[in-house]
Amino acid sequence: MSANTSDLPVNIECFMNDVDVSSKMNRTQFDQLCASLLARVEPPLRAVMEQAKLQREDIYSVEIVGGATRIPAVKEQICNFFCKEISTTLNADEAVARGCALQCAILSPAFKVREFSITDVVPYSITLRWQSSFEEGTGECEVFSKTHASPFSKVITFHKKEPFELEAFYTHPHDVPYPDTRIGHFVIQNVGPQNDGDNSKVKVKVRVNIHGIFSVANASVVEKQNLDNEPNDIPMDTELSCRNQSKDELAKIQIDQDDGNQKNQIEQSQTDEETDHIGTEGKTASGDKIDANQSSKTKIKCIDLPIHVNLYRQVDQDLINCYIENEGKMIMQDILEKEKNDAKNAVEEYVYDLRDKLCGAYEKFITEDDARKITLMLEDIENWLYEDGEDQPKHVYVEKLQEMKKFGGPIHDRYKEYEERPKALFDLENKLQMLMKTLEEHENKDKKYDHIDPVDMEKVEKYASEAMNWLSSKMHIQHRLNLTQDPIIKVAEIKAKSKVN
């Protein structure tokens, strides 16, 4: 209907109470029914323009990639919003191919193209909350604003005397397509006061990685040691400090700092930002500098702190282990099922193979009565396979196969012996002829055998004589046997005689 403006029939037989339904619908009526859905097209477009800080006049062209967006009603909505004709010359695969071609042109020294840059950003703003000693009870700060560059790391400095907790959550619940906006709960452990009883300076590094995942990367406590045991009256802290500030002021300073960094995101590599938060009263911000002599007398040491992490909506380790165990069970079940099917197929293949050979290659090696009995047995097993044997355990199919091989195995052995015996006899006879010739030349005093000990030649003569007598007697009996009888001399025995040195 999206491509057809004429009325289309709608027919439903026996819709309810044996009543048939017949009607017609055209595109105009269809669009009216979908009006509430089509109204959802414009808000994402408007949000993209606002986030990119672009006007409609800044857009050169609009390309629609995909299938659903090419519905005429959707195309009309997009066209009306941008006030431009839209293009539909690319599908999803072609868009990727064109992007790859453009990237190749950018990297190639043989082409000169405009400079393009793509910056990954944080889709939702992220805020940290912690317990504060101010009257408000808690403090919070937006560490990553919406569309902040990623991957990116920031360092937040706290002044604490004891372990403290951080809670990360998405700032604006209505932006997140999930009712729970919490990200995780982080406990910074092993925090204590300084030797002089003052607050410890704790640096917490938070990060959004290349996949857009937020985490508290690490935490460390900064210890200052005065090497000459003299009091250091001038503070060492030259970072941006927010002391005795309300939450509104604190948030404002953090936002200003973020804005300043975002201006230099393209020009600078990933950097760490630091914001100093303190939770005790009676202290003031200090950014005073100290001279080189005094700084040389102070040693600063950073000690990593353990962090207890509890991420919301994350599968815990016990459940992961359960999944792994269930996966192992399913893998074993698949293996058992495959082995069962292989065993069943082996039975079916053997039935067809043996039945065909009874009338072909094996015909001379089995009596008519035995062939008839085996044929009947194969028919019974074939019928069983498609009835009671359709779904049986693996061992049942293995037993059926072994049962058939008890009858088919001897026939196969007789056929194999008959086919391979001539070559084995030929090899043994050739070897015996060579030995007899060697013995004859040795008796004639041939010089090339002077180095051989006569005792060894006697052993060769004895072996050749015994082998010829053994072969003659066995073949004399073998020639009297029918092909339906098991051979008296085996190919393996003949080959064993040939291999004796």
**172, 193, 224: which is the final residue of a domain?**
224
- Has residue 3 been placed in a domain? no
- Has residue 361 been placed in a domain? yes
pTM of the model: 0.52
CA gap 214, 169 in Å, rounded: 10
CA gap 483, 478 in Å, rounded: 10
- The reply to whether 474 and 347 lie within a common domain is yes
pLDDT in tens, the chain (501 residues): 666 778 889 899 988 888 999 999 888 888 888 899 999 999 999 988 988 889 999 999 999 987 778 888 899 899 999 999 999 888 888 888 988 998 899 889 998 888 887 888 999 999 999 987 655 568 889 999 988 998 999 999 998 888 999 999 999 998 888 888 999 999 999 998 888 888 889 999 999 999 999 999 999 998 877 665 554 443 333 343 333 334 443 433 333 333 334 333 333 333 444 444 433 333 333 333 334 444 456 778 888 999 999 988 888 888 899 999 999 999 999 999 999 999 999 999 999 999 999 999 999 999 999 999 999 999 999 999 998 888 899 999 999 999 999 999 999 999 999 999 999 999 988 988 888 888 888 777 777 777 877 888 888 888 888 888 998 998 989 888 899 898 988 999 988 888 865
- Has residue 254 been placed in a domain? no
Distance of alpha carbon 342 from its chain centroid, rounded?
29
- Has residue 384 been placed in a domain? yes
Q: What CATH number did the domain enclosing 125 receive? A: 2.60.34.10
CA gap 454, 272 in Å, rounded: 95
Q: Which domain, by its residues, includes 337?
A: 329-498
- The reply to whether 485 and 372 lie within a common domain is yes
Give the list of residues 6+ apart from residue 366 with CB closer than 8 angstroms, or none. 358, 374, 411, 484
- The reply to whether 213 and 346 lie within a common domain is no
- Has residue 238 been placed in a domain? no
Exposed/middle/buried for 461, CB within 10 Å: 0-12, 13-18, 19+?
middle
Residue 2 has what pLDDT?
63
**173, 208, 224: which is the final residue of a domain?**
224
- Has residue 315 been placed in a domain? no
Residue 282 has what pLDDT?
31
- The reply to whether 345 and 476 lie within a common domain is yes
- The reply to whether 481 and 346 lie within a common domain is yes
- The reply to whether 350 and 490 lie within a common domain is yes
Cα end-to-end span (Å), the chain: 89
**224, 248, 278: which is the final residue of a domain?**
224
- The reply to whether 201 and 337 lie within a common domain is no
Name residue 274's beta-bridge partners.
Answer: 155
- The reply to whether 206 and 339 lie within a common domain is no
User: Torsions phi, psi of 300, nearest 5?
Assistant: -105, 130
Residue 297 has what pLDDT?
65
- The reply to whether 216 and 338 lie within a common domain is no
Give the list of residues 6+ apart from residue 154 with CB closer than 8 angstroms, or none. 143, 144, 205, 206, 207, 272, 273, 274, 275
Q: Treating both helix axes as pointing N-terminal to C-terminal, what angle do 368-385 and 394-443 enclose, rounded to 10 degrees?
A: 140
Residue 161 has what pLDDT?
87
DSSP string covering 405-443: HHHHHHHHHHHHHHHHHHHHHHHHHHHHHHHHHHHHHHH
**Burial letters for 268-288: b for 16+ Cβ neighbours within 10 Å, e otherwise?**
eeeeebebbbbbeeeeeeeee
- The reply to whether 493 and 346 lie within a common domain is yes
Least Cα distance to 397 among 380, 384, 414 occurs for 384
Our count of domains for the chain comes to: 2
- Has residue 197 been placed in a domain? yes
CA gap 106, 118 in Å, rounded: 13
User: Torsions phi, psi of 130, nearest 5?
Assistant: -145, 165
- Has residue 124 been placed in a domain? yes
Residue 1 has what pLDDT?
66
Distance of alpha carbon 206 from its chain centroid, rounded?
27
- The reply to whether 469 and 348 lie within a common domain is yes
Strands of 17-122, DSSP E: 19-25, 62-63, 86-87
Least Cα distance to 73 among 107, 42, 108 occurs for 42
Q: What CATH number did the domain enclosing 379 receive? A: 1.20.1270.10
